[in-house]
């Protein structure tokens, strides 16, 4: 005797959408709700491919957490904005099947050794991809004054810039740039110190039935 398709026992039934159901009561009730996207017919991932005769379920979610840091220095801070050279990070979508949402932060600290009395340290920054527009990227501006009227003081500005983007299925080498620049109101401050850290989470999208 030969048989094609999926063979299930008398306690099971194949629903019209290909999902696998049970005849008779279950020993444990469905705990996720009874309507909408939480209903057993929508949220239960087990399916039968009636054409190929295979059982299948949606690939598991992928979550990736990571971080990276860097230090550097730049030339004299003047009254014109100067690039701080924060750098870039390259990200890959680990899921070959589905798009991924990236939620990240870039934290940058800039230290000006001697800001003149009555002056202040200004910082502008942004995160953007090398191609396209970065949804959720938030340009940021920070300012730290020297409130002394008699002498120069060190000024430290730390900014945290949240950003997000979408990676296509299996996308490799998506480059995001963290761009920061700084200036002072008057005078100059030689050899500022810069440090930065990237942290991010990559989460794959679940498909809808």
> Are 29 and 108 members of one domain?
no
Answer whether residue 46 shows pLDDT above 70. yes
> Are 21 and 67 members of one domain?
no
In a domain, 185, yes or no: yes
pTM above 0.75, yes or no: no
> Are 106 and 191 members of one domain?
yes
> Are 79 and 166 members of one domain?
yes
Query: What are the pLDDT digits (tens) for 170-209?
Result: 899 999 988 888 899 888 887 888 899 999 999 987 654 3
Mean pLDDT score, 31-43: 78
What CA–CA distance (Å, rounded) separates 62 from 17? 26
> Are 104 and 22 members of one domain?
no
Of 34-43, 81-90, 118-127, 165-174, minimum mean pLDDT range: 34-43
Dihedral sign of CA atoms 130, 160, 92, 164 in order: negative
Query: What are the pLDDT digits (tens) for 64-113?
Result: 888 888 888 777 888 998 888 788 889 999 888 888 999 999 999 989 88
In a domain, 6, yes or no: no
Confidence band of 26 (pLDDT split at 50, 70, 90): low
Rounded to 5°, angle at Cα 118 from 116 and 123: 75
Report the pLDDT value the prediction gives residue 189, as an integer from 0 to 100.
84
Quote the mean pLDDT of the chain. Answer: 81
**What is the H or E stretch that residue 41 is in?**
helix 40-43
Structural domain boundaries enclosing 106: 63-204
Contacts of 199 (CB under 8 A, 6+ apart): 65, 66, 67, 104, 105, 107
Report the pLDDT value the prediction gives residue 186, as an integer from 0 to 100.
87
> Are 159 and 91 members of one domain?
yes
What CA–CA distance (Å, rounded) separates 181 from 178? 10
In a domain, 209, yes or no: no
In a domain, 3, yes or no: no
Give the number of domains in the chain.
Answer: 2
> Are 102 and 178 members of one domain?
yes
**What is the H or E stretch that residue 42 is in?**
helix 40-43
Tell me the percentage of the chain whose pLDDT exceeds 90: 20
Mean pLDDT score, 12-19: 70
Confidence band of 141 (pLDDT split at 50, 70, 90): confident
In a domain, 164, yes or no: yes
In a domain, 4, yes or no: no
């Amino acid at each position: 005797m030969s048989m094609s398709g999926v063979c299930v026992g008398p306690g099971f039934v194949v629903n019209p959408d290909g999902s696998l159901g049970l005849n008779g009561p279950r020993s444990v009730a469905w705990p996720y709700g009874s309507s909408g996207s939480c209903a057993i017919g929508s949220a239960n991932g087990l399916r039968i491919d009636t054409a190929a005769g295979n059982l299948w379920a949606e690939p598991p979610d992928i979550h990736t957490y990571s971080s990276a840091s860097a230090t550097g220095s730049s030339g004299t801070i003047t009254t014109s904005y100067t690039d701080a050279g924060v750098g870039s990070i390259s990200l890959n979508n680990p899921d070959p099947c589905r798009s991924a949402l990236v939620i990240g932060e870039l934290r940058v600290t800039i230290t000006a050794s001697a800001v003149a009395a009555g002056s202040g340290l200004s910082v502008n920054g942004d995160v953007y991809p090398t191609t396209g527009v970065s949804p959720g990227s938030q340009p940021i501006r920070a300012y730290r004054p020297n409130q002394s009227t008699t002498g120069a003081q060190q000024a430290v500005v730390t900014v945290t810039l949240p950003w997000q983007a979408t990676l296509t299925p299996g996308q490799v080498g998506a480059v995001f740039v963290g761009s920061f620049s700084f200036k002072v109101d008057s005078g100059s401050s030689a050899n500022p110190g810069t440090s930065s850290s990237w942290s991010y989470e990559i989460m794959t999208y679940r498909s809808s039935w």
